[in-house]
Chains A and B, each alone.
Chain A
Amino acid sequence: MKVKVISRSTDEFTRERSQDLQRVFRNFDPSLRTQEKAVEYVRALNAAKLDKIFARPFIGAMDGHRDSIKCMAKNPNYLKAIFSGSDDGDIRLWDLASRRTVCRFPGQQGAVQGLTVSTDGSVLVSCGSDCTVRLWNVPDANLADLDSLSDNSAKPLAVYVWKNAFRAVDHQWDGELFATAGAQVDIWNHNRSQPVNTFDWGTDTTISVRFNPGEPNVLATSANDRSITLYDLRMSSPARKVIMRTKTNSIAWNPMEPMNFTAANEDCNCYSYDARKLDEAKCVHKDHVSAVMDIDFSPTGREFVTGSYDRTVRIFQYIGGHSQEVYHTKRMQRVFCVKYSCDGSYVISGSDDTNLRLWKAKASEQLGVVLPREKKKQEYLEAVKNRYKHLPEVKRIVRHRHLPKPIYKAANLRRTMIEAERRKEQRRKAHSAPGSIVTESIRKRRIIKEVE
């Protein structure tokens, strides 16, 4: 009699160590597993549901300021540190891990309007409505850790008094310069008490300034005259201005795509622009129901976070029309500033209620050490979810978010208004001579003109 056996070499099946996993050989013939697709669909569905269950984005609040937080700055060189400035002139350095104030920087009179840190993380620059620019020495991270118990305060390295109040400040990436915004845009050097350069185009106050991290000599500002202006320091001249229908509150450059930036607008939307083609926004990110106050890109360049006057923080895809996350708590008031952490896994928001809040960038992400097999599994579930995200059930679960009632209602109202506007235009178009009324896409509609 013939006995058929599977011949296997011992070498292939002997484990080198006792901890090694046993080798499993499978037959991957798809005809043997006809139900695999269905199985994966169910897995995707379950993964989506589990994501919802595990979505606990809020990590903690950092309390300490006495007034609403106006601005924040992250240390590009040290992950755990975040600086915050409030309306009463208080500047604090927080340790995100322990969620405590590590250091205070007293001296600013009146509201702190802008904070920024040099790329090496050694100098903090603050400016405010008291017409001063102050440079501070950032305490050493390890030292700060050690004696964080005593609430130590630092003294300014330098104080530069200037002619007008400041509204914003930003530091150049990998350079010595920083820019302040106010009545005009000033470019400063660390070591000089007066600006090395001043740009003045138009009469209105500039309210935000942001350097391009990829192209350190390019910066963008937004002003009260509803304009966004680009500057080039190499030619020491402004380059181009685009005027929109509403004011832009803040600008963020995409750190991975130096030609693209996103503007947080008063009209509840964010507009992504290509700096080379300003006649049209590349993408309009809708979802907020009130003015967007601040915006910050994730260092990966794939997401950005926005804080809005409607008391929510939202996270958008860099090319997505709608937000993928919305964060809110009962106690969080108007959000004035948001930052993405330097590793792209946390989001910090500062709001009117004098608190900083720490959020996870991915709501259902598992914190802490993830074992390789766990990671593999999570990756698989993510991939499966991503694959079936277009199917209605999965889509519904993935998209679903609970919203506070006022925001929900406001969103509905907004939708109604937009719909009404659209209908009106449609009718107007229908009742006028063909071709006389042209519908402009929303990407163009909000732009008045591009000024050379």
Chain B
Amino acid sequence: MADKKRKERAGGGGSRTNKKLEKNSNSKGLTKNNKNKTDMRKKRTGPHLPSALRTELDRLNNRISSNSDDEIDSDVGNDVYEYEEEVPQEESRKNRRFDPVENYEYELPEDFEDEDVSSDDDVDNDNFDDGGNKGTQNEDVDGSDGVEEEDDERHLRMLQGITGMSSDAFERKKKKNNVVISEAHPESEYNPTRDVLEGDGHITVQDLLGPIQGKPGYSKLRKRVQHMDRKSTSIQAPLPKADREKLERMAVYEHSKKDITKWEHLVKRNREAPTIFFGEDVDLGFSTVGAIASEFEPRSEFEKKIATLVYDEKVMEAHKADGSKLLELNKISAEDYMKHRAHIAKMRSLLFHHEMKRKRIKKIKSKTYHRLKNKDKAKAASVEMLMDPEAAKEQARKQEFKRAEERMTLKHKNKSKWARRILERGLNTQDEGTRAAMAEQLNHHALLTRKINTVKGSSSSSSSDSSSDEDEEGSDQDRASELLERAKEKTLKVLEDDEEMSNSGVLSLPFMVRGMKKRREVAIDEAKLALQEYEQLEGTDGAVNSKSATASGRRVFGMTKNEDPESNNKTKTDNNNNKMKMDNYYGNSDSEDDLEAKENLNIEGGRKNDVDSNSVKEAADVHQDSVFKNFDDIVRDPGSKSTYEVAIFASDSWRKMKSGNGVDTNVKKSQDVKEPIVHDQDLEEGEEESDSDSEGQMMDGVLSSGPKESYKLPSQSELIRHAFAGDDVEEEFEKDKQEILNEENPEPDKPVLLPGWGQWTHVQQKEGLPSWMLKAHDDAKRKREEILKKRKDAHLKHVIISEKLDKKAEKLQTKTLPYPFTSKELFEQSMRMPIGSESNPETAIRALNRPEVVKKPGVIIKPIKFEEVHGHEKSEDHKRSGQKRKTNRIKGAVGKNKKQ
């Protein structure tokens, strides 16, 4: 609206010039000028025309000014406001602005339009503006002259050609300018409008300049005036204050908006950053005790005194000197230090390992181990005895003491209360452990009592022959018997070793076993012969040996197996075999320790001869398992043997061969000798046999159940039908489904008639259940059915879809997607990986757990400061860790320029 008006006004100015060209040219310009003067204060704002039009108008105006030099205009074209002295209202035409209308005889133009009049304000403005012209259209009168018409038309065409605007615009202007105003008032100097209208008697700048022509500075002034004329434009009246302020505010707001937008990238960066840091550049002061202490200044007198003492020069010097000396003393080369440290470390580790070892050993509870250990110790002691005469003496003294003690107390001769009680009850009724213990005791006793001689003998023989005759005799006898015993022992050991060898890895192969057996047989034969010889020798020896033999014989209390009365040596071999058997039974024949243990045993056995072997044999017997017994039985029983062989035959051929060998050996050897060997083989074969037996039975079963050759495989469906002949799966499934349905949507309880509840009993009897109860029941039923119908598996006959809510799982799920996430996957991904220190390296944790805002307590946070962010820097920023970014920000803050 405002624009339009202005345009109009400007256009008016333009067309006015045309008028001027035609007739009273000068008067128009002056009129306008005067009008402007009077109404300047009212309205003058910068022209808001389209730029094209404005330039055009400027051009026109220039032309005018060149023609008529009468326009006094503002000196600066850009200036919007111009202060001019106010013309009194009574002088201006304001007070009678509506007057001229009455004097008109006018007619409305044919194409009259009222479009421009929209508000009172506008009318006023127009009136003010073109007061002289009486510029509103309804005041226009067209009845001036026909001559002008053609000129106007021509001019119009020209204007159109120049500006490219429609003819309407100019037409209106033209009309507007066809103004005839008659003054009601008489002409006066206070009423210049009259002059303006008539075009006479007005004063121009030229007129004013005339008199001063030739005066100094005239040319200058004239030039200025001309210049002004050339440049002058029509100045608009200012807008009302309200509008003006509004425009101003708009401009301010736009500017302010633009200015504030510069923060956008900073704000965006901060918002998008996973963490923002505050107060990172602030130094919080001392962080260590040392730093704080160094800043200490003595304040009180006491402190000062102390300080004077402490910081006394002499004291300081002394301290320095002393300190350096102390340090000198401490000087040590790095190599030395390293060596020393390595040594200490080594010692420490040795100590530690030793300690650990002792601890471990101390914890061992195994009796066997301890027994063996004690034996080891004894052996070591004996070795030491041999090596070191001093130690030997000491040992001998100890032994002597022990023996004396034994003789005095007879502690180990089954004289204790416990032993007596057991003997009273009968040894045979006791369990193996007790018997073994008893035997052990006796053994010990025998050892202690018998060894007197041997030790004495050995010592005496080594030292001198100056012992008594009887003693010598005894010792000689003893020595002879001992030699024999040793020889025997060795032969036995050879036997043993052979057998033991057979059990180890490669030698356990069948052909090796066979070879070994043959060799062993030969060896055994030889050994037997040797043994017999030893026996004979022993027999010649007589008393001691026989005594010992009797002793052994007496102590053979557990020998139930050896039914046949046999010779002594055979018993021994048997014993040895049994011993061996025991070893085999333990099944560690290939480990070194056991070998050693066996050797020990054998040695002992050899040394102790009968006594030991007896006890060991007992132990072996004790340890014999049912399996062995079974095989013993098998071997003994001919009938069972035959079945056994049959079984083997059924199982395998080469095995049978082997067993045949075994049988051969059985045949060859005496029963007792071969027995353990048989056992060894039988052990494997027994296992084998059981397997083969079962196989055979299976075979039998298949054979018996299997059809003849006419058998045809049944079809799959038949098989299935056969397999599930008994049960109806579908029905079961139905039942299951029903059960689940009932569980998830339980069936409503049937209404129960409680006598006397709700109604009198007789009424109840007559009418039955109350109707509401039935109704409620029906409702519940219907509801349930509806729910069942709604189920996903309602139409699926063979499917159960559980709709039970898992309450525990429900706790771990959200019902809706939480706000910042756009999809389920994103949400799930956000908590896919754990962030704790248990599952992340230390370096990653810090970034994972960093809070959104990192600030130090007690540090004042300043408002944001402006900084420029460059593209590449920004991208770097995102990559870098927070630490880097902080420094960057600080730098930016320092380098930033203050806002104006």
Contact A276 B863 (CB under 8 A): no
Q: Does A388 contact B (CB under 8 A)?
A: yes
Q: Which of A208-216, A264-272, A351-359 forms contacts with chain B?
A: A208-216
Q: Does A120 contact B (CB under 8 A)?
A: no
Mask for A384-406, Cβ within 8 A of B = 1, else 0?
Answer: 10011011110000000000000
Q: Does B106 contact A (CB under 8 A)?
A: no
Q: Which of B154-162, B180-188, B256-264, B678-686 forms contacts with chain A?
A: B256-264
Given A343-B857, A391-B812: A238 and B249 within 8 A (CB)?
yes
> In the complex, what residue of chain B is closest to A80 when comparing beta carbons?
B858
Which residues of chain B in 287-328 are interfacial with respect to chain A, using CB atoms and an 8 Å cutoff? Answer: none
Q: Does B209 contact A (CB under 8 A)?
A: no
Whole-angstrom CA separation of A43 from B834 in the bound complex: 11
Given A40-B834, A259-B267, A452-B246: A28 and B852 within 8 A (CB)?
no
Contact A300 B278 (CB under 8 A): yes
Report the minimal beta-carbon distance from B727 to chain A, rounded to whole angstroms: 39
Q: Which of B124-132, B445-453, B839-847, B873-881 forms contacts with chain A?
A: B839-847
Q: Which of A82-90, A134-142, A182-190, A229-237 forms contacts with chain B?
A: A229-237
Whole-angstrom CA separation of A235 from B253 in the bound complex: 10
Contact A218 B256 (CB under 8 A): yes
> In the complex, what residue of chain B is closest to A382 when comparing beta carbons?
B851
With a cutoff of 8 Å between Cβ atoms, the chain B residues found around residue A215 in the complex are: 259-260, 263, 899
Q: Does B900 contact A (CB under 8 A)?
A: yes
Contact B831 A37 (CB under 8 A): yes
Whole-angstrom CA separation of A348 from B250 in the bound complex: 39
Q: Which of A159-167, A250-258, A324-332 forms contacts with chain B?
A: A250-258
> In the complex, what residue of chain B is closest to A234 when comparing beta carbons?
B900
With a cutoff of 8 Å between Cβ atoms, the chain A residues found around residue B219 in the complex are: none
Contact A256 B267 (CB under 8 A): yes
Whole-angstrom CA separation of A180 from B281 in the bound complex: 35
Contact B248 A237 (CB under 8 A): yes
Mask for B554-569, Cβ within 8 A of A = 1, else 0?
Answer: 0000000000000000
Whole-angstrom CA separation of A383 from B261 in the bound complex: 33
Contact B849 A391 (CB under 8 A): no
Contact A299 B861 (CB under 8 A): yes
With a cutoff of 8 Å between Cβ atoms, the chain B residues found around residue A384 in the complex are: 835-836
Contact B864 A36 (CB under 8 A): no
Q: Does A26 contact B (CB under 8 A)?
A: yes
Whole-angstrom CA separation of A352 from B629 in the bound complex: 105
Q: Does B603 contact A (CB under 8 A)?
A: no
Whole-angstrom CA separation of A302 from B273 in the bound complex: 13
Contact B249 A40 (CB under 8 A): no
Contact A299 B860 (CB under 8 A): yes
> In the complex, what residue of chain A is closest to B811 when comparing beta carbons?
A393
With a cutoff of 8 Å between Cβ atoms, the chain A residues found around residue B147 in the complex are: none
Contact B853 A302 (CB under 8 A): yes
With a cutoff of 8 Å between Cβ atoms, the chain B residues found around residue A301 in the complex are: 270, 864
Contact A79 B834 (CB under 8 A): no
With a cutoff of 8 Å between Cβ atoms, the chain A residues found around residue B818 in the complex are: 390
Contact B831 A232 (CB under 8 A): no
Whole-angstrom CA separation of A393 from B900 in the bound complex: 53
Given A239-B249, A257-B267, A379-B850: A30 and B831 within 8 A (CB)?
no
Contact B855 A300 (CB under 8 A): yes
Q: Does A275 contact B (CB under 8 A)?
A: yes
Contact A387 B255 (CB under 8 A): no
Q: Does B838 contact A (CB under 8 A)?
A: yes
> In the complex, what residue of chain A is closest to B834 when comparing beta carbons?
A36
> In the complex, what residue of chain A is closest to B821 when comparing beta carbons?
A390
Contact A300 B853 (CB under 8 A): yes
With a cutoff of 8 Å between Cβ atoms, the chain B residues found around residue A235 in the complex are: 248, 251-252, 255-256
Contact B836 A36 (CB under 8 A): yes
Report the minimal beta-carbon distance from B809 to chain A, rounded to whole angstroms: 11
Contact A343 B257 (CB under 8 A): no
With a cutoff of 8 Å between Cβ atoms, the chain B residues found around residue A43 in the complex are: 836
Given A36-B836, A40-B836, A259-B267: A390 and B814 within 8 A (CB)?
yes
Whole-angstrom CA separation of A173 from B865 in the bound complex: 11
Given A37-B834, A40-B834, A173-B863: A257 and B263 within 8 A (CB)?
yes
Interface size class of B (residues with CB under 8 A): 35 or more
With a cutoff of 8 Å between Cβ atoms, the chain A residues found around residue B260 in the complex are: 215, 218, 258-259, 275-276
Contact B860 A77 (CB under 8 A): yes
Report the minimal beta-carbon distance from A199 to chain B, rounded to whole angstroms: 11
Interface size class of A (residues with CB under 8 A): 35 or more
Q: Does A100 contact B (CB under 8 A)?
A: no
Most central of A33, A238, A257, A388 by chain B CB within 10 Å: A257
Mask for A214-229, Cβ within 8 A of B = 1, else 0?
Answer: 1111100000000000
With a cutoff of 8 Å between Cβ atoms, the chain B residues found around residue A40 in the complex are: 834-836
Contact A302 B852 (CB under 8 A): yes
Contact A259 B857 (CB under 8 A): no
Report the minimal beta-carbon distance from B40 to chain A, rounded to whole angstroms: 24
Which residues of chain B in 817-845 are interfacial with respect to chain A, using CB atoms and an 8 Å cutoff? Answer: 818, 827, 830-841, 845
Contact A258 B860 (CB under 8 A): no
Q: Does A99 contact B (CB under 8 A)?
A: no
Name B860's contact: one of A173, A343, A379, A393 (CB within 8 Å): A343
Q: Does A114 contact B (CB under 8 A)?
A: no
With a cutoff of 8 Å between Cβ atoms, the chain B residues found around residue A392 in the complex are: 810-811, 813-815
Q: Does B80 contact A (CB under 8 A)?
A: no
With a cutoff of 8 Å between Cβ atoms, the chain B residues found around residue A217 in the complex are: 899-900
Contact A387 B830 (CB under 8 A): yes
With a cutoff of 8 Å between Cβ atoms, the chain B residues found around residue A77 in the complex are: 860
Q: Does B862 contact A (CB under 8 A)?
A: yes
Mask for A348-392, Cβ within 8 A of B = 1, else 0?
Answer: 000000000000000000000000000010011011100110111
Report the minimal beta-carbon distance from B808 to chain A, rounded to whole angstroms: 11
Contact B838 A239 (CB under 8 A): no
Whole-angstrom CA separation of A235 from B833 in the bound complex: 55
Q: Does A76 contact B (CB under 8 A)?
A: yes
Given A384-B835, A390-B814: A239 and B253 within 8 A (CB)?
yes
Name B848's contact: one of A174, A238, A383 (CB within 8 Å): A383
Given A217-B899, A299-B861, A300-B276: A240 and B833 within 8 A (CB)?
no
Contact B861 A391 (CB under 8 A): no
Most central of A41, A76, A344, A390 by chain B CB within 10 Å: A390
Given A40-B836, A392-B811: A258 and B263 within 8 A (CB)?
yes
Q: Does A93 contact B (CB under 8 A)?
A: no
Which residues of chain A in 100-117 are interfacial with respect to chain B, using CB atoms and an 8 Å cutoff? Answer: none
With a cutoff of 8 Å between Cβ atoms, the chain B residues found around residue A295 in the complex are: none
Contact B831 A387 (CB under 8 A): yes
Given A259-B263, A344-B855: A391 and B811 within 8 A (CB)?
yes
Report the minimal beta-carbon distance from A392 to chain B, rounded to whole angstroms: 6
Contact A238 B835 (CB under 8 A): no
Given A230-B253, A379-B850, A388-B831: A33 and B263 within 8 A (CB)?
no
Whole-angstrom CA separation of A158 from B57 in the bound complex: 58
With a cutoff of 8 Å between Cβ atoms, the chain A residues found around residue B835 in the complex are: 40, 380, 383-384, 387
Contact A214 B850 (CB under 8 A): no
Q: Does A338 contact B (CB under 8 A)?
A: no
With a cutoff of 8 Å between Cβ atoms, the chain A residues found around residue B811 in the complex are: 391-393
Name B836's contact: one of A230, A234, A259, A380 (CB within 8 Å): A380
Name A28's contact: one of B250, B815, B841 (CB within 8 Å): B841
Name B252's contact: one of A30, A174, A239, A342 (CB within 8 Å): A239
Q: Does B529 contact A (CB under 8 A)?
A: no
With a cutoff of 8 Å between Cβ atoms, the chain A residues found around residue B165 in the complex are: none
Contact A238 B252 (CB under 8 A): yes
With a cutoff of 8 Å between Cβ atoms, the chain B residues found around residue A257 in the complex are: 263, 267, 270, 864
Closest 6 CB pairs of A and B: A299-B861, A213-B863, A255-B863, A239-B253, A390-B818, A36-B834
Of the A-B pairs whose beta carbons lie under 8 Å apart in the complex, a sample of 17, sorted by A's number, is A26-B838, A30-B834, A37-B834, A215-B259, A235-B248, A235-B255, A257-B270, A258-B267, A276-B257, A301-B864, A343-B279, A343-B855, A343-B857, A344-B855, A376-B849, A380-B845, A392-B814
Listed in ascending order, the chain B residues whose CB lies under 8 Å from chain A are 245-246, 248-253, 255-257, 259-261, 263-264, 267, 270, 276, 278-279, 810-815, 818, 827, 830-841, 845, 848-853, 855-864, 866, 898-900
